[in-house]
Structure 1
Amino acid sequence: MKSLAPVVIMAASTLPYAAHAQSSVTLYGVIDEGINYNSNSGGHPSYAMQSGVAQGNRFGLRGTEGLGAGWRSIFVLENGFDVSNGKLAQGGLLFGRQAYAGVSNPFLTVTVGRQYDIQADFIGPFAASRQWAGNIGAHPGDIDNFINTVRTNNSIKVVSASVGGLIVGGMYSLGGVAGDPTRNQSWSVGATYANGPFSAGAGYLNVRDPNVSYFGNATSGNASATIANSPYPVYSGYLSAHSFQVASAGLTYKLGRATASMVYSNATFIGLGDLSAGPNPHGYTGSVHFNTAEASLSFLIDPQVLLGAAFAYTAGSGVSGTDGHSGARYKSGSIGAQYFLSKRTSVYVLGVYQAASGVDSLNQSARASINNQPSASTSDRQAVIRIAMSHKF
């Protein structure tokens, strides 16, 4: 028996390594930094460093482990940060971009934690902002969340594998309010289909008490219903809504080196005047909706040079109240050029112009409000030009 001991010990010592061989942890990230010119930032032209535009700055850990019979455990912990000053993004949250764990098999993936909603997951990629225009090319205030400005906490997400090009998914977020299971809850569903050069998708998002449970998620503190948890005058005056919903659809067709895309969204704030959800200084009641349509075209001149152009139109409806008004309109145009120095590093130029009209949610003449800028314009016009570099690792 003693003669077998060394053999047994050697065999046992290989077991942890065999298990480890079926698992992996990957460090990944994006660093994006550049200079912006803004024609009207709070009333003045400005030049400023800004990071995380073409893609949000991040570093993350992605892990997977084989469990047998086709099952795997997975996790993602993803941090956001500002290259210009080194600060944490997403309101100071350590893993503010994503933090989830789950399991997958050849048929579906189930994850729980802080995640992107299904509507944004499935329809966002059809928008120019997710292809080449960056977050400054997003729709006003990213009202449809196509660039994932808002993450969803306490969520359970289920996504199917592709079957004949079709993928479906759903997500539910628990509100966590004792005695009222629907308060602060959200849910979303979506589907995409791809066949050769053609792809299309549709999605839907529904959120209760959105000022706190949705727009208030980008903070390390507790969101309050006494303030509007969004800086965008496009809709910050409507955050007394009892619920918020987005219905969207998109399609893309690739022809050679050209890619043409169209996307549509309808975002609606429902049940205005709920002071338990958010402030209502203008006495709004009823509902208000925003219809957004976008068309874009990109062209790969050669493997190193990409050009893009897009136009989007957002129309807000009227709303009832003591200071009721007829809504606002936003017209936005984007152009861009990207040069790939390598598979992981590129330099790019972006230009975005926006014109506003009508009356916005703050019951004032609508002001241009290009996404992700320090301040909205003090007039109905605003332009941003950016020169930057992006590196992936």
Structure 2
Amino acid sequence: MKKSLAIAAAVAATFASASYAQSSVTLYGIVDAGFTYTTNVDGNAKYALGSGNLQQSRWGLRGAEDLGGGLKTIFTLESGFNVANGQQNGGLFNRQAFVGLTHDQYGTLTLGRQYDSVVDYLGPLMAVGTWGGTYTAHVGDNDNGNATFSLNNAVKYTSPNLSGFQFGGAYAFSNQAGFANNRAYSAGMSYANSGLRVAAAYLQANNAGVLNNPNGAVTNDQFGLSAQRARVWGGGVSYTYGPAVGGVVFTQSRLNGLNDNLSIRYNNIEANVHYNLTPALGIGAMYTYTNANGSLLSSEGGGRTAHWNQFGLQADYALSKRTDVYLEGVGVWGAGQAAVGTTQVGFQGADNYSSSKNQGIVTTGIRHRF
């Protein structure tokens, strides 16, 4: 009897182990904190201890269950927070919250709060989406390259890797009668072969951030003044050669139907390069030219055009596989209507617009990934 019970216990343990091996949940995250010096803030310099200088501090849960035949259930729950004061940036899972199915041959279908195609496909070609961090985002993050917002109520498909080619798209419901009020959709593609990578993406949002639909596709006013229609499109290319990688990206953001039916259009052209001097030490440089034109600018008492020149330099040293220290400087110089109203110069994540047409930031800190 005792022998039978022992055999039964062993069999049960075997099946339990097999069942456990088929599913997994991973806790992951980034903690990034450092010191930042910012010029021209209300006419003065600003010294601050900040969070997320290169990457927003975050924690998350990622899980998968193997259903057999190449099919898996997956989920991600991710929350951004400020390590300087311990506060959350919005709701509990403000960055991502989705569940879905993935298959080796047919791709991935997910439902929930997710990134759009600009973030997914163009982000890996931008400094802000790779080594550069938050302050290298294009002026005001007008194209969402820094993932300032995510799409709520989104159904998203990502194809498998087809000999280097991949594509995908998302549709975010308004969750409101009228269907098109505060909905969004996006699509993108990329191709990688050896060191070459090319990508393109498109994003459109209708009535983003409207006050009467707080549960719509885009619930903050990142697109500016609750634009009736916001469109972002762009393309880029990068090439990796040994320890060096360089890229060029173009994006255009069009905001129509602003206050009093005004409009504005941003064009962003970025060039960036990163080089690993040693396995531990990397350096990077980026330059972005942004111009804007439209009736919004002339309504603010000046001409119809504005432009900015943005430069960034960074050195990053890895203390281990998970921990690094960094030093970065970014400057932006504006002209035309670049210092008025909604087109004020300012760094994404710096919390303060410049009190002039120019602004500079120097930041140093430590980042740990877990």
Q: Scaled by the length of structure 2, what TM-score is found?
A: 0.92
Amino acid at match of 1:353: G
Alignment partner, residue 115 of structure 1: 114
Tell me what 2:292 maps to.
316
Question: Which residue of structure 1 aligns with residue 282 of structure 2?
Answer: 306
Instruction: Select which of 244, 252, 262 maps to 2:248.
Output: 262
Deviation at 1:11, TM superposition (A): 3.9
Which structure 1 segments of 5+ residues have no match? 273-279
| CA distance in structure 2 between the partners assigned to 1:385 and 1:375 by the alignment | 14
Do the aligned partners of 1:151 and 1:217 also contact (CA within 8 Å) in 2? no
Corresponding residue of 1:297: 273
Deviation of residue 197 (structure 1)?
A: 0.8
Question: Partner of 1:78 in structure 2?
Answer: 78
CA distance in 1, matches of 2:36, 2:195: 35
Distance in 1 (alpha carbons) for counterparts of 2:83 and 2:215:
22
Specify the code of the residue in structure 2 equivalent to 1:182: A
SS in 2 for 1:88: coil
Structure 2 Cα separation of the partners of residues 349 and 85 of structure 1: 22
Amino acid of the structure 1 residue aligned with 2:74:
I
**Percent identity over paired residues:** 35
Judge conservation of contact 2:32–2:56 (CA < 8 Å) in 1: yes
Say whether 1:211 aligns with 2:209.
Answer: yes
CA distance in 1, matches of 2:4, 2:310: 76
Alignment check: 8 A CA contact 2:290 2:309 kept: yes
Aligned to 2:59: 59
- Among residues 215, 221, 227, which one is paired with 1:229 in the alignment? 221
Please give the secondary structure, in 1, of the residue aligned with 2:257.
strand
Deviations 1:113-159 (A, max 9, x none): 11111221110111111222210111011111111111111101100
Match of 2:118, SS? helix
Task: Write out the 4+ residue segments of structure 1 that deviate beyond 3 Å after TM superposition.
Answer: 3-17, 215-218, 320-325, 360-364
User: After superposition, what is the alpha-carbon deviation per residue over 1:195-225, rounded to whole angstroms, capped at 9, x for unaligned?
Assistant: 0010010000011102339x9789xxx95xx
Query: Shift of residue 18 of structure 1?
Result: 2.2
Structure 2 partner of 1:251: 237
Q: 1:216 to 1:132 in 2, by over 3 A?
A: farther
Change (3 A) 1:341 1:5: closer
Write the distance in 1 (CA, Å) between the matches of 2:18 and 2:241: 46
Residue aligning to 1:275: none
CA–CA separation in structure 2 for the residues paired with 1:119 and 1:383? 26
1:241 deviates by: 2.1
1:142-221 aligned within 5 A: 142-178=141-177, 180-212=178-210
- Asked if the contact 2:174–2:215 (Cα under 8 Å) also holds between the matched residues in 1, the reply is no
The answer for unaligned runs of 5 or more in structure 2 is none
CA-atom RMSD in angstroms: 2.6
Distance in 2 (CA, whole Å) between partners of 1:363 and 1:151 is 25
State the 1:319 CA deviation: 1.3
Deviations 1:339-375 (A, max 9, x none): 11111111100000001112259558x6421221121
Deviations 1:231-264 (A, max 9, x none): xxxx74xx24211010011111112221111111
SS at match of 1:128: coil
Contact 2:62-2:75 at 8 Å conserved across structures: yes
Residues 357, 367 of structure 1: 8 Å contact kept: no
- Secondary structure of the equivalent of 1:212? coil
- How far did 1:289 drift? 1.1
TM, length-normalised to structure 1: 0.86
Task: Find the aligned partners of 1:351 and 1:381 in 2 and give their Cα distance.
Answer: 14
1:373 aligned onto 2:318: no
Report the CA distance between 1:95 and its aligned residue. 0.9
Are the counterparts in 2 of residues 203 and 248 from structure 1 also a CA contact under 8 Å? yes
Match of 1:23 in 2: 23
- The one-letter code matched in structure 2 to 1:310 is M
Amino acid in the other structure paired with 2:80: G
Contact in 1 for aligned 2:339/2:345 (Cα 8 Å): no
Judged with a 3 Å threshold, the aligned counterparts in structure 2 of structure 1 residues 349 and 363 are, in CA distance, closer, same or farther, namely: closer
Q: Is the CA contact (8 Å cut-off) linking 1:38 and 1:382 kept in structure 2?
A: yes
Is the 8 Å Cα contact of residues 188 and 199 (structure 2) preserved in structure 1? Answer: yes
Judge conservation of contact 1:216–1:229 (CA < 8 Å) in 2. no
Instruction: Give the stretch that moved more between structures: 204-213 or 160-169.
Output: 204-213
Conserved? CA contact 1:367–1:381, under 8 Å: no
Counterpart CA distance in 2 for 1:146 and 1:185 is: 19
- Aligned-partner residue type, residue 184 of structure 1: N
SS at match of 1:125: helix
Q: Which residue in the other structure is 1:45 paired with?
A: 45
**2:221 & 2:173 partners in 1: Cα distance?**
20
Change (3 A) 1:304 1:217: farther
SS at match of 1:302: coil
Alignment of 1:99-138 (within 5 A): 99-107=97-105, 108-138=107-137
Residue 355 of structure 1: aligned partner:
333
